[in-house]
Amino acid sequence: MSAPSPTAHSVVVGGSTAARVIACPASVRLSATVPPRPSSQYADMGTMLHNAIADTLTSSLPRSDAIGSSYAGQTLTDDIYDEKIAPALAALDVIDPEEGMTVSIEARVSFGDWLPGVFGTCDVLGRLGNRAVVLDWKFGDGVIVDAEENAQLMFYAAAAMRTEEFRPVFKGATEIELIIVQPPEVRRWVTTPERIRQFELLLKRSVTMSESSAAPMVMGPHCRFCPAKPVCPLMTGAAARAVDTQLVGLPARDIGAALVLASQLEKWIEDLRTLAITMLTAEHPIPDWKLVAKRGMRKWIDDAAAEAALLALLPESDVMEHSLVSPAKAEKALKKLKLDLAPGLYHSISSGTTLARADDPRAEALSIGRQLTAALKHIQ
Ligand code: SF4
């Protein structure tokens, strides 16, 4: 079987945008006003991996045939297979150890006339006993995705329940299991058909609200991937307020809120620059701005010829560089031989401290002053 084509997305709401549209219905109309963002290498890598695992599952593609498959310049290597595809396939064995699950791969699901224009593609749909299974592969490492109350998976479950072809998957099911496989992690949450029906009512209400010019606009974590961010009045207003905020003397109680705003604005700045580059590349002028070539980096035209020419003039130590690989790289290489990195060979040194929310699972770093105070308390 050939690799599936990249998934087409609903312009109203799809699985990956469900949480945002529910939280901020106004984002639908606003997103339609900005040009589509160019794909990134991370997105292309995700598509390549989705295609590879879909092919592997639908046509029992052996590893040797999967290696080398590519999409938009991203190629499946042995290392990437070991890191992403192999653990994802192993997760399926844990979920369905008896191999009794009937599955549909890359299932196109939609709400039909109940919610026109709203559809998506679910990675894996299956049925095990009284339980319907809805699974999504997440191959990125940047954002940890949880299964509990996951709007994307609930969207797929609700749409699949309304798609004629997949009704048998849910017929008589008393439980619906939502699963995120984000190698090496698997996160699972079991819910009920009733919860999914509640969710779809909320989704429908949000989509209906999104059609109104008075649709609610709400900032929050869902803004992260909103395409309308560069032109969103809440974001631009927040940026203007941030610029006007006098940091000297800012009370501690306001610094926490300002830090939340700062992380939202960081992504806004990044998206604003991407939008400007997209427009200028497409020859839409932006007053006072233009594209220029980045500074050139010198590269050898022919490595072997350059090496020979330089060795004729300089000692080898001035021409060649050898350095030890990092513990992470060494560990990866050893893993292939099913060997462990000896703990006595390395230590972990923090390069300093970084900001985190109070509910972050990492232990709080103590300052030297506080460590001394704590130690003195023990002496007294
Ligand atoms: S950036 Fe946030 S607040 Fe603005 S439209 Fe998008 S989701 Fe809504």
- Asked whether residue 42 falls in the same domain as residue 107, the answer is yes
Three-state DSSP class for residue 33: coil
- Asked whether residue 190 falls in the same domain as residue 242, the answer is no
- Asked whether residue 143 falls in the same domain as residue 175, the answer is yes
In a domain, residue 102? The reply is yes
CATH number, domain containing residue 85? 3.90.320
Distance 228 CA to ligand 1 centre (A): 6
Q: Look at residues 177, 210, 243 and tell me which one is the last residue of a structural domain.
A: 210
In tens, the pLDDT along 149-186 reads 999 999 999 999 999 999 999 999 999 999 999 998 99
Atom of ligand 1 nearest to the CA of 220: 2
Atom of ligand 1 nearest to the CA of 219: 3
Q: Look at residues 281, 314, 342 and tell me which one is the last residue of a structural domain.
A: 281
Mutate which of 16, 209, 222, 275 for ligand 1 pocket (most atoms within 8 A of beta carbon)? 222
In a domain, residue 74? The reply is yes
In tens, the pLDDT along 64-113 reads 999 999 999 999 999 999 999 999 999 999 999 988 888 999 999 999 99
According to DSSP H, which parts of the chain are helical? 18-23, 27-31, 41-58, 63-66, 78-80, 86-95, 151-161, 167-170, 193-210, 233-244, 252-281, 303-311, 316-319, 327-336, 368-379
Atom of ligand 1 nearest to the CA of 24: 8
Q: Look at residues 210, 239, 257 and tell me which one is the last residue of a structural domain.
A: 210
- Asked whether residue 233 falls in the same domain as residue 194, the answer is no
- Asked whether residue 65 falls in the same domain as residue 31, the answer is yes
* DSSP conformation class of 229: G
- Asked whether residue 191 falls in the same domain as residue 235, the answer is no
CB neighbours of 174 closer than 8 A, spacing ≥ 6? 130, 131, 192, 193
- Asked whether residue 191 falls in the same domain as residue 247, the answer is no
In a domain, residue 291? The reply is no
Q: Are strands 70-71 and 131-137 parallel, antiparallel or unpaired?
A: unpaired
> 111 near 153, Cβ under 8 Å?
no
In a domain, residue 103? The reply is yes
Atom of ligand 1 nearest to the CA of 232: 4
In a domain, residue 7? The reply is no
Please give the single-letter amino acid code of residue 131.
Answer: R
Length of the chain: 380
Written as tens digits, the pLDDT of the chain (380 aa) is 333 333 456 677 888 999 999 999 999 999 999 988 888 899 999 999 999 999 999 988 899 999 999 999 999 999 999 999 999 999 999 999 988 888 999 999 999 999 999 999 999 999 999 999 999 999 998 889 999 999 999 999 999 999 999 999 999 999 999 999 999 899 999 999 999 999 999 999 999 999 999 999 999 889 988 999 999 999 999 899 888 888 999 999 899 989 988 988 998 999 999 999 989 988 999 999 999 998 889 999 999 999 999 999 999 999 999 899 999 999 989 988 989 999 999 998 888 888 888 888 888 886 666 666 666 666 65
Protein residue closest via CA to atom 1 of ligand 1: 229
- Label residue 176 exposed, middle or buried (CB < 10 Å: 0-12, 13-18, 19+): buried
Domain of residue 49: give its range: 15-210
How far is it, in rounded angstroms, from Cα 77 to Cα 350?
32
- Asked whether residue 200 falls in the same domain as residue 262, the answer is no
- Asked whether residue 206 falls in the same domain as residue 247, the answer is no
Does the CB atom of residue 30 touch ligand 1 within 6 A? yes
Token readout for 308 is 């020979």
- Asked whether residue 78 falls in the same domain as residue 199, the answer is yes
Distance 150 CA to ligand 1 centre (A): 19
The whole-number pLDDT of residue 280 equals: 92
The whole-number pLDDT of residue 38 equals: 82
The whole-number pLDDT of residue 6 equals: 39
How far is it, in rounded angstroms, from Cα 46 to Cα 185?
16
The whole-number pLDDT of residue 28 equals: 95
In a domain, residue 256? The reply is yes
Does the CB atom of residue 22 touch ligand 1 within 6 A? no
In a domain, residue 21? The reply is yes
Overall domain count for the chain? 2
Does the CB atom of residue 234 touch ligand 1 within 6 A? yes
Distance 21 CA to ligand 1 centre (A): 9
- Asked whether residue 94 falls in the same domain as residue 170, the answer is yes
- Asked whether residue 92 falls in the same domain as residue 205, the answer is yes
Please give the single-letter amino acid code of residue 241.
Answer: R
In a domain, residue 150? The reply is yes
